[in-house]
Structure 1
Amino acid sequence: MSTVDPALELDTGKPRLSVKEPAVRYDQQGETPETERLREAMRHFAKDFHYGAAVHMDSCIHCGNCAAACHFYVTTGEAKYTPIWKVEVFKQAYQREAGPFALFYRLFNLKPAVSVARLREWQELIYDSCTMCGRCTNACPMGIDIAALVGQARHAMFKAGLVPHELWAVAEKAEREGSPLGATPKVFQERVEWMADEHEVDIPMDKDAADVLLTMSSIEIMKYPESIAATAKVMKAAGYSYTFRSDGYEATNFGLLSGNVDWQRDMSMKLINAAIACRAKYLILPECGHAYSAMRWQGANMYGKPLPFKVRHITEFIAEQIQNGRLKVKKAGGTATFHDPCQLVRRGGAIEAPRVVMNALGLDLHEMDNSKGRNWCCGGGGGVITIHRADDLRYKTFQIKMKQVDETGAEKLIMACSNCRQTFDDGQAHFRWDRTAESLLELVADNLEQ
């Protein structure tokens, strides 16, 4: 019998689209022998292991709270999507090799040895069906950071060459070309010039000195380029000197999403070095949740010491400038609902900043059921939207968001993450849904007081 919550069943009045089981396809990189793949996975999982992770591994009381918090489990009722189960294969490796009773586990074979075949099976669980949104972490009564454990498991999977092909390909392209979607410095320069001309706003590039270094996500550059002009308009209105730099503009970090720490560090250091080069006081991150996680909370770790500048998401920055009186906006009016990006709000703690901005815009905010830190993920984060074999599963989970939004009755659907926006646009097209996601940044730029 299905364990899906009936309250999450959608009744949109539109034809329901059937959702197939995910195709069985396990990707791998290179021609590495099986024994070497396994050795690399276990070695790098052990390398990332620490006391806190060990405590988490041993703390699970099997209460099931994380399952009820996971959009993949709730919409399928399949036990394999229980969040804590997604790191079970690495828990077994820990218990056999590093735990306090490892000798007994091996002696009496209490846990089977991990095999490459098992790791391949786990690829879908670690990548396809986890956005690392952290809703399970918040629900755990033992405080287990399941999302972080999945991230550590991805490090080991990458080293073993067991990453979904599409995710590996965009991460490798970002390392090689500087952008996962082909937004090379030349392409970015062309986009900047286009937006500056079309919107009649000054968008400086490569200034030697500026208060603010601006960054963009590849999705914004290639799919939502108006974000470039909107960011410049906000900076000009707030009275800051600002610049983009061709040596550090791409904030998307697919090293983080794929599990390659070296690539994650390379992407982060480009931004850090660019900010230092122009003596920036602020490094402003774009409407991108994972870019926020990579730089705001992990940037100093990549740098090896405290960052010599402040890091802010563009929404945080706008809220601060509204509150200190440097930025004034007109009343847009109307009703709106806000999709809370997981990495910005739940994982990042920037809960009130977008609401400060929407309040200044005079919007009548209709909060979704389970809003703020408890909001449901869009289903496309963590690199999931890049993995084609995960599409059917992702569309099924997206129905939670459709139901949430429709129940608010709000006129506008607003968000502050371009990855979420892309997921919503894709879901809208797939389900022929009559809602369009709007950027909070662009709404601000359209309502600046002159």
Structure 2
Amino acid sequence: MTDTDTQFPLELNQPRLSIQKPEPRYDKQGEMADAERLDRAMRGFVKDFGATAALYMESCVHCGQCAEVCQYYVQTGDPRYTPIWKLEPFKQAYKRETGPFAPFFRLFNLKRRVTVQELEDWQDLIYDSCTQCGRCTMVCPMGIDIASLVGLARHGMAAAGLVPHELWATVERANREGSPLGATPAVLKDRIAWLEDEHGVEIPLDRERADVLMTISSIEVMKYPQSIVALARIMKRMGASWTFRSDGYEATNFSMFAGDQQGQREASLKLIEAAIAVGAKTLILPECGHAYQALRWQGANLYGKPLPFRVVQVAEYLAEGIRQGKLQLQPVQNSATFHDPCQIVRRGGVSEAPREVLRALGMELREMDAHGAYNWCCGGGGGVVTIHRADPLRYKTYQIKMQQVEDTGAEMLVSTCSNCRQTFDDGQAHFHWDKTAQSLLELVADHLVTEQE
């Protein structure tokens, strides 16, 4: 999109949300020699080279179609941002260590060993400039799941202590405190007490038995607390038996994006065990894209067996309530466009439910040029929004989304992901844009038909 640079000039020197950015750097975790770091990375890579990954590694025909749908390549024209190229060190390790011709490659040194310096430089490609949105996966003619391969590559990087500082610090805090943003059980309890008093709603916490376990994103607790009030109002109207649990409420799982498999598993097990303890038939995930990916599609694998309850994203639950006649909504007299969160829609398949809710609100839906599974990413996913040095490039790719929204002419921008919402808020502040992303959940809560009606 060549015209967006003119319409939305990129202001590289403007601090994000008035926070001074640190100097760019390639960070390392842990004290270890380069040889050990490299060995850990290679062992991490090899561990993930199963049959599926091997098939992907051998299947690329270098057609370049993935480049044309990657926001980083489209906005820069830089071939190193071609999605499949981002996996080159991973592929080199496969060819040399475990591929069918690995002994041949090693004997004649046809694939030299990856160096620690290359891995440090590689951070820019698999962390800073990849949101794991999965658009590349959608168009690959060979069916290569490039986004998943990036996730596998991050496992080896995390094992070697080669994760961008801000993302790793977020993961460490989550492992230490139970929440990446400091929304500890004590903070959650205090926040719930305040919201109950302020808004006159009941928000159950730590009930011994409930049919529904509600989870929350720390972004909602700390930045968008109105979403908790919205949940309470909707659950009351639904007549549901539900609760939050202080031993399993945090749905945010940044360990997944960092490549910290153990941290990802522990975060998911907290939710799983809390749901089992309370006897929940349903676990509802909040407006958080990667939370849906982590538990809905990876949770059972981490748990080691099928989950004894169903997992739904909150937009799916809202659509169910509307279908069952439990939620009657007042019409909204605005046109709207819907931003499809990548991890919920493209990677998770929840495309129709939010649109069903918007139709029930009587809104005129103005779809973006590419929408549903083909929508463009907001640019903050995959942990990218946490990495300060990635901001200039992230803002440049964000212009695609701005132009998409502007082209619809819609009065409202709606989504069902608080992480996307945070990225939109940041982009709005950076570009002095006049569009604010609205929460689908809060929109429903604000337009419930009153009992008198």
Contact 1:247 1:270 (C-alpha < 8 Å) held by counterparts? yes
Letter in 1 for 2:41: A
Give the partner amino acid of 2:178.
G
> Separation in 2 of the partners of 1:231 and 1:248?
17
The 5-angstrom pairing of residues 93-132 of structure 1 reads 93-132=93-132
Q: Is the 8 A contact 1:136 1:146 kept in 2?
A: yes
Structure 1 pair 344–127 and aligned structure 2 pair: CA distance change class (3 A): same
Do 1:67 and 1:74's aligned partners in 2 also have CA atoms closer than 8 Å?
yes
Separation (CA, whole Å) in 2 of partners of 1:449 and 1:301: 41
**1:18-76 CA distances to partner (integer Å, 9 max, x unpaired)?**
589x9752110111111111111111111122101000001001111111111111111
Partner amino acid for 1:225?
P
- Displacement of 1:353 in angstroms is 0.5
Structure 1 stretches of 4+ moved >3 Å: none
Summarize the alignment of residues 191-210 of structure 1 with structure 2, pairs less than 5 Å apart: 191-210=191-210
SS at match of 1:280: coil
SS at match of 1:438: strand
User: Per-residue deviation at 1:163?
Assistant: 0.4
Alpha carbons of 1:23 and 1:65: their partners in 2 closer, same or farther (altered >3 Å)? farther
Separation of aligned partners in 1, 2:287 and 2:9: 33
Q: What displacement does 1:322 show?
A: 0.8
Instruction: Sort the Cα spacing of 1:393 and 1:28 in 2 relative to 1 into closer, same or farther, 3 A.
Output: same
State the 1:16 CA deviation: 4.7
* Letter paired with 2:317: F
Report 1:171-182 matches (<5 A). 171-182=171-182
Residues 379, 394 of structure 1: 8 Å contact kept: yes
Which residue in the other structure is 1:303 paired with?
303
Aligned to 2:408: 408
Answer yes or no: is 1:379 the counterpart of 2:374: no
Structure 1 partner of 2:363: 363
Q: Is the 8 A contact 1:19 1:393 kept in 2?
A: no
For the pair 1:17 / 2:11, whether they are aligned, the reply is yes
**1:271 matched residue in structure 2:** 271
The C-alpha deviation readout for 1:352-375, integer Å capped at 9, x for no partner, is 000000000000000001000000
Report the Cα offset of residue 139 of structure 1. 1.1
Give the whole-Å Cα distance in 1 for the aligned partners of 2:86 and 2:13: 22
Q: Which moved more, 1:29-38 or 1:100-109?
A: 100-109
Query: 2:233 maps to which residue?
Result: 233
User: How much does 1:254 deviate?
Assistant: 1.3
Separation (CA, whole Å) in 1 of partners of 2:74 and 2:132? 16
Report the residue type matching 1:165 in the other structure: H
Contact 1:10/1:403 (<8 A) preserved:
no
| 1:265 shift after superposition | 0.7
The 2-side partners of 1:185 and 1:316 are apart by 27
Counterpart of 2:255?
A: 255
Report deviation, 1:284.
0.5
CA contact (8 A) 2:10 2:395 kept: no
How far residue 17 of structure 1 moved from its aligned partner, in angstroms, is 2.7
Alignment TM-score, normalising by the size of structure 1: 0.96
The separation in 2 between residues aligned to 1:51 and 1:431, in whole angstroms, is: 45
Question: How many angstroms does 1:306 deviate by?
Answer: 0.6
Q: Which residue of 1 aligns with 2:139?
A: 139
SS of residue matched to 1:204? coil
User: Offset at 1:194?
Assistant: 1.5
Measured after TM superposition, the shift of residue 11 of structure 1 is 4.6
Q: CA deviation at 1:9?
A: 2.8
SS in 2 for 1:228: helix
Aligned position for 2:324? 324
Deviation at 1:327, TM superposition (A): 1.8
Distance 1:68 1:439 in 2: 30
CA distance in structure 2 between the partners assigned to 1:240 and 1:50 by the alignment: 43
Identity over aligned pairs, percent: 64
Aligned residue runs from structure 1 range 162-177, under 5 A: 162-177=162-177
| Structure 1: runs of 5+ lacking an equivalent | none
Please list, as runs of the form range in 1=range in 2, the aligned pairs for 1:40-79 lying within 5 A after superposition. 40-79=40-79
Greater shift in the superposed pair: 340-349 or 327-336: 327-336
In structure 2, give the amino acid aligned to 1:9.
Answer: T
d(CA) in 1 for partners of 2:274, 2:6:
50
The CA RMSD measured in Å over matched residues stands at 1.4
Aligned residue in 2 for 1:391: 391
